């Protein structure tokens, strides 16, 4: 039996913080499905297809990664994929309350679903997609935070070149 995990998120856009979680999950699972949320309540800068394309590009050298755009109930998706765990990253205490609530709701919806929290690597503690968007908006250099491909897409999207 393959051990499959799902890493859901908006990935608007994918950062080195996300990539770190993805690489570390691959040590624990046979396959990691990155589920790009289409129906997020947050307004996203990139379309789901653009977020998918960036993830595709920056994970192309990683084995056992699959990327899908997903909308609907995560627990249904988990069943559909025969996945055993939801992966989420935790940065500061401020992430905790929301993550805790989501994990409990998912557990209530399907008691077999486990949520696995991975602590951020120290160097990515401060890193978020929204922070990167802000940096690029003000013409800052984002190359310490996102791969060059993503940085270029951000500049294009924000009409900075």
Instruction: Give the footprint of ligand ADP on this chain (CB under 6 A).
Output: 9-11, 15, 17-18, 21, 40, 42, 88-89, 91, 95, 120, 124, 127-129
If one counts every other C-beta atom within 10 angstroms of the C-beta of residue 115, the result is 16
Q: Which is nearer to ligand ADP, 3 or 126 (CB)?
A: 126
In angstroms, give the least distance from the CB of 10 to ligand ADP: 4
Q: Name the minimum Å distance from CB 101 to ligand ADP.
A: 12
Comparison of 40 and 157: residue with beta carbon closer to ligand ADP: 40
Which tokens in the block code for residue 17? 């913080």
Sign of CA dihedral 72, 76, 80, 85: positive
CB 59 within 8 A of CB 67: yes
Cβ-contact 44, 10 below 8 angstroms: yes
* Strand ranges in the chain using DSSP code E only, listed in sequence order: 4-9, 31-37, 65-70, 85-90, 114-119
Which residues are identified as catalytic? 18, 42, 91, 129
Identity of the residue, 4 or 6, whose beta carbon is nearer to ligand ADP in the bound complex:
6
**Cα distance between residue 99 and residue 101, in whole Å:** 5
In the complex with ligand ADP, which residue's Cβ is closer, 48 or 127?
127
Q: How far is the CB of 115 from ligand ADP (least distance, A)?
A: 10
* Shortest distance, position 85 Cβ to ligand ADP, whole Å: 13
């Amino acid at each position: 039996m393959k051990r499959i995990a799902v890493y859901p998120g908006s990935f608007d856009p994918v950062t080195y913080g996300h990539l770190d979680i993805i690489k570390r999950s691959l040590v624990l699972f046979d396959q990691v499905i990155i589920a790009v949320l289409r129906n997020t309540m947050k307004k996203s800068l990139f379309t789901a297809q653009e977020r998918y394309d960036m993830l595709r590009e920056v994970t192309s050298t990683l084995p056992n990664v699959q990327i899908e755009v997903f909308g609907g109930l995560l627990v249904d998706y988990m069943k559909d994929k025969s996945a055993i765990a939801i992966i989420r990253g935790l940065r500061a205490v401020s992430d905790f309350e929301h993550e805790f609530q989501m994990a409990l709701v998912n557990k209530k919806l399907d008691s077999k679903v486990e949520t696995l929290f991975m602590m951020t690597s120290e160097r990515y503690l401060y890193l978020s997609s929204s922070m990167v968007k802000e940096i690029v908006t003000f013409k800052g250099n984002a190359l310490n935070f996102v791969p060059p491909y993503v940085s270029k897409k951000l500049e294009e999207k924000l009409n900075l070149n």
